[in-house]
Structure 1
């Protein structure tokens, strides 16, 4: 007998109606441990460098904390409080703090320095914050109003002008005649060069004349007597001098450097030759030599009876020195711009200055933000060299305080240099962080 069994197959299909919840990542890949594995101990070389860094921190940080905090002296009236101390002498810093800021600037007139700092801050901060409006008005304020206001507040104003080279009696008449002659000569020279280059010679000449007109207005305002007490620059010192030199050098070196970079790439042989000579000369001379020459040698070449303020000579020397380095930084950015950008601008019918101001320079300056800020930081630190010509900047005024027998102690110099290092670090680190912020905002780097 044959039995036939029907094959009964049962098919069960499972369809998930919701996604499986994400499993928690391994504890070794998240949190502090995960960050350390990814950034500090991701490989044997990184592990070695991390351990070396930890060892250096162990050697430096604990002694620094002991000197500045644990073993420091916090109260005292004179050197006896710090004579036997093994840490920082903070009463000495407290006693000299305002001297570190103002130098020997007269006490009753220090409100003028504070007002200058305030005017500088309210003009600079809106320019640094991208979301703030009225950028053009802020730039005009910083380039036109603030320099004149700062000059009048810090010096007292009421300047008198005598002139330089015309064979006529000294006085304001001779100065203004010489001013008109210089304005005419500079405008005419630039007009001829612009016409030879095929640019808008008339528009450029009018712009130069407008600049001289603004300069004449500034001279006139500076000659007005505002009733302020005159404070000579030898009484300036401390952080005031450091900021005056640094800000002036930074503000002057960037436009001069841009002009020199464009001149070095110019098709006009005379412009290119002058730019190359200027850049190579100033780059080939140490800044300390420039300061010494401006202070000692320059007066020997001036006509009899004509002198320049020592601080003014230092400002000119620092600005020209920094502009040569700035020119090479900007030139690197110009060379990084592809040829197609130039060809596209010329295809649109743009003139040379239109092409540079609207197409080329915005891209070039964006690319070299790190180099520009690096030059600014180096310039800020190089202001300490003015001590060699008798200008007491922040470091110089700190060193001069060591001669005070009332605060002479074994740790006085260490404390003073620590304060100077901290102040310089705050300013330089702030410039560095702002540079990084602008790089990220403008997306100048290459994405990975």
Structure 2
């Protein structure tokens, strides 16, 4: 090992060569091969994964066809990704007019920037950003996408579709169901019989119905109870049904967090002179929400995947529009590539939500440990 002289005139030892390799081997011994059984099991898993990759790689990439105007152009033995690439605009925007797609791009860009400002710790002003995203962004995005006033061309919701529609339904369901679910959870734990009874009735009624039934009730049955000639928007009805169903499920998750808050927190707030609402908003709910973060994220992931159920009521979400595209006579036999594309899109969105949840849990646990709390 060589010795060099520092700028201060003091000798120091050079960093050991290949230290990263030794750290990697130490990690592998501790995590992958701690026992002979674990080593054998991990080697079998690695071998199966390598075999799977070797079997899929030629079909997915090496022998795939990437361009063409119909299935007949896919003459190779691999995947026909030309189907996905040729209809990618439709998969993203649905039937939204091409000349107006800048509005979709602008709404999506604002959403991404707003979420980045909320999720990146170094960005200041999270309270203001959160209020803007909750109170200002929804009407702004609706005006931008729907149009029909302030100079924008009107685009009816039956022309919305693809990934755009999936995100509209998913984000609307997540954002709108959260405050309703919290209110229902507080009502279920209320000592007032009226609030408690109505909350329990709402939760048990909606939570006991399948999502498909809720959508059919909203789209098919509800118009029969409306005045003659009155027609409601199908997308709005579907979102309303999803919000009612998810808020009932979310209420049970938040209720578990409320029950996990120690009773001493309530007593301390009462001793400080806090009333019910101040205790709930400033003391109880922040602790309860931290406790149920995994459940909230799991509920959001389930909601995002359940958006595909809107296809049964005639809305062309990402899954439905890919299925419709694969039924085109020019692309018969391309359903496999289309469904793989849908699966990758949903996996990416759900994985990103899951990783952020894990990071947030780790950050909160580290903060409690630094403050001397119990992790």
In 1, are the aligned partners of 2:215 and 2:242 still within 8 Å (CA)? yes
2:102 is the counterpart of 1:111: yes
2:340 is the counterpart of 1:435: no
Indicate the residue corresponding to 1:422 in structure 2: 344
TM-score, length-normalised on structure 1? 0.75
How far the C-alpha of 1:55 sits from its partner, in A, is 4.3
* 1:331–1:399 CA distance, 2 compared to 1 (3 A): same
Indicate the residue corresponding to 2:173 in structure 1: 249
How far the C-alpha of 1:392 sits from its partner, in A, is 0.6
Indicate the residue corresponding to 2:54 in structure 1: 62
In 1, are the aligned partners of 2:67 and 2:85 still within 8 Å (CA)? no
Indicate the residue corresponding to 1:74 in structure 2: 66
How far the C-alpha of 1:280 sits from its partner, in A, is 1.2
Indicate the residue corresponding to 2:265 in structure 1: 341
Query: Any idea what SS the aligned residue of 2:109 has?
Result: helix
Indicate the residue corresponding to 1:98 in structure 2: 89
In 1, are the aligned partners of 2:163 and 2:317 still within 8 Å (CA)? yes
How far the C-alpha of 1:228 sits from its partner, in A, is 1.6
Select 2:117's aligned residue among 126, 130, 140.
Answer: 126
Q: Point out 4+ residue stretches in structure 1 off by more than 6 angstroms.
A: 444-448
Gap regions ≥5 residues in structure 2: 1-12
2:208 is the counterpart of 1:290: no
Indicate the residue corresponding to 1:149 in structure 2: 140
Q: Which moved more, 1:115-124 or 1:60-69?
A: 60-69
In 1, are the aligned partners of 2:59 and 2:79 still within 8 Å (CA)? yes
Partners of 1:252 and 1:61 lie apart in 2 by 41
How far the C-alpha of 1:45 sits from its partner, in A, is 4.7
Q: C-alpha offsets along residues 277-301 of structure 1, whole Å, 9 cap, x if unaligned?
A: 1111111111011111111111111
Partners of 2:78 and 2:246 lie apart in 1 by 39
Q: C-alpha offsets along residues 147-169 of structure 1, whole Å, 9 cap, x if unaligned?
A: 11111111114xxxxxxxxxxxx
Partners of 1:295 and 1:350 lie apart in 2 by 45
Partners of 1:108 and 1:356 lie apart in 2 by 49
In 1, are the aligned partners of 2:177 and 2:247 still within 8 Å (CA)? yes
Indicate the residue corresponding to 1:41 in structure 2: 33
How far the C-alpha of 1:40 sits from its partner, in A, is 1.6
How far the C-alpha of 1:59 sits from its partner, in A, is 4.5
How far the C-alpha of 1:428 sits from its partner, in A, is 0.6
Partners of 2:58 and 2:202 lie apart in 1 by 50
Partners of 1:74 and 1:148 lie apart in 2 by 40
Q: C-alpha offsets along residues 372-393 of structure 1, whole Å, 9 cap, x if unaligned?
A: 0010001001100100000010
2:360 is the counterpart of 1:360: no
Query: Any idea what SS the aligned residue of 2:87 has?
Result: helix
Indicate the residue corresponding to 1:281 in structure 2: 205
How far the C-alpha of 1:51 sits from its partner, in A, is 3.6
Partners of 1:306 and 1:76 lie apart in 2 by 46
Matched ranges for 1:16-415 at <5 A: 30-82=22-74, 84-157=75-148, 225-408=149-332, 410=333, 412-415=334-337
Query: Any idea what SS the aligned residue of 1:443 has?
Result: helix
Partners of 2:221 and 2:260 lie apart in 1 by 40
Partners of 2:272 and 2:210 lie apart in 1 by 44
Q: C-alpha offsets along residues 28-87 of structure 1, whole Å, 9 cap, x if unaligned?
A: x943332222112213553354244224423532233222112211233332221x4332
Query: Any idea what SS the aligned residue of 1:426 has?
Result: helix
TM-score, length-normalised on structure 2? 0.89
Partners of 1:268 and 1:46 lie apart in 2 by 56
Partners of 1:392 and 1:52 lie apart in 2 by 42
Report the count of equivalent residues: 353
Gap regions ≥5 residues in structure 1: 1-20, 158-224
Partners of 2:80 and 2:349 lie apart in 1 by 23
Query: Any idea what SS the aligned residue of 1:138 has?
Result: helix
In 1, are the aligned partners of 2:66 and 2:85 still within 8 Å (CA)? no
